[in-house]
Structure 1
Amino acid sequence: MDKHDLEQGETLAPRYDASGLIAAVATHADTGEVLMLAWMNAEALERTLATGEAHYWSRSRGELWHKGATSGQVQTVDELRIDCDQDAVWLKVRPQGDGGACHTGARSCFYRAVEGGRLVRRP
């Protein structure tokens, strides 16, 4: 696929990295809050598109992961976008369950700010 088609065309052609992964940013569909950054392989992206629920690739476990399958924090996908050169995706999601996204129980995985070289917990 040439650069023009990749950047301006209508064909979905994700550009996975050498490990077969693409970055996936999930934000809350209503508030725009960044919930998490995860990774997808081709199967995770295909399942997400087919089911309307977020699926990711767990690098630490080396397996496909249906977000919320065990925690109840299923992410229903409202919209999925891909960036200009098709090497990252953005999911606008509606969290289910308790509304959290992080495995720590926090609403967002980005619950700490860096201040003076230290991490400070933020709501």
Structure 2
Amino acid sequence: MVGMTSTPRPSNLDPEIAARLKRSPDGLLPAIAQQYDTGEVLMLGWMDDEALHRTLTTGRCTYWSRSRQEYWVKGDTSGHVQWVKSVALDCDADTVLVKVDQVGAACHTGDRTCFDADVLVADAPAPGQ
């Protein structure tokens, strides 16, 4: 897709990895953080090439703040660190899955996950029931 590979900020990301990524027009990829041992989905953040590079090389999740237009490392201010266990691309190379060991809350609200507070459907019946 045209426009899906822009990189608005300089990066040290391995060029072979960068060439595979399919980014949004603003150069970002959604990054899903998942607890490595339980499979619990913790949060969704955004990464550009440099945030992905920092995540891969430091062992801590680094995200790009769309509102502040700056990098942030999960836990630097809250102490709720995400220790990286593995990083994978989805089949389309347009989403990153980061399996982490989450220390404390993942959500900025203080909840364990960003998906705790607003459940739209719980225990939905299987189709045909």
Q: TM-score range by the shorter chain?
A: 0.7 to 0.9
Q: How far 1:61 sits from its partner (Å)?
A: 1.2
Identity of aligned residues (%): 52
Q: CA RMSD in A?
A: 1.1
Cα distance in 2, alignment partners of residues 17 and 52 from structure 1: 25
Q: Are residue 105 (structure 1) and residue 105 (structure 2) matched?
A: no
Q: Specify the alignment match of 1:82 in structure 2.
A: 89
Opposite residue 109 of structure 1, the aligned amino acid is C
Q: State which of 26, 38, 48 in structure 1 corresponds to 2:33.
A: 26
Q: What are the superposed Cα offsets for residues 57-106 of structure 1, whole Å, 9 maximum, x if unpaired? A: 1111111110110000110010111011211000100012xx21000000
Structure 1 residue identity aligned to 2:119: A
In structure 2, stretches of 5+ residues that fail to align are 1-15, 122-129
The gaps in structure 1 that reach 5 residues or longer are 1-10, 116-123
In the other structure, the counterpart of 1:60 is: 67
Distance 2:113 2:98 in 1: 14
- Paired residue for 2:126? none
Residue of 21, 43, 51 corresponding to 1:14: 21
Q: How does 1:109-120 map to 2 (within 5 A)?
A: 109-111=114-116, 112-114=118-120
Deviation by residue 1:2-52 (Cα, 9 ceiling, x = unmatched): xxxxxxxxx532221110100100110111110001110111000000101
Kindly tell me the number of residue pairs found equivalent between the two proteins.
103
Runs of 4+ with >4 A deviation: none
Which residue identity does 1:113 align to in structure 2? V
TM-score by length of 2: 0.76
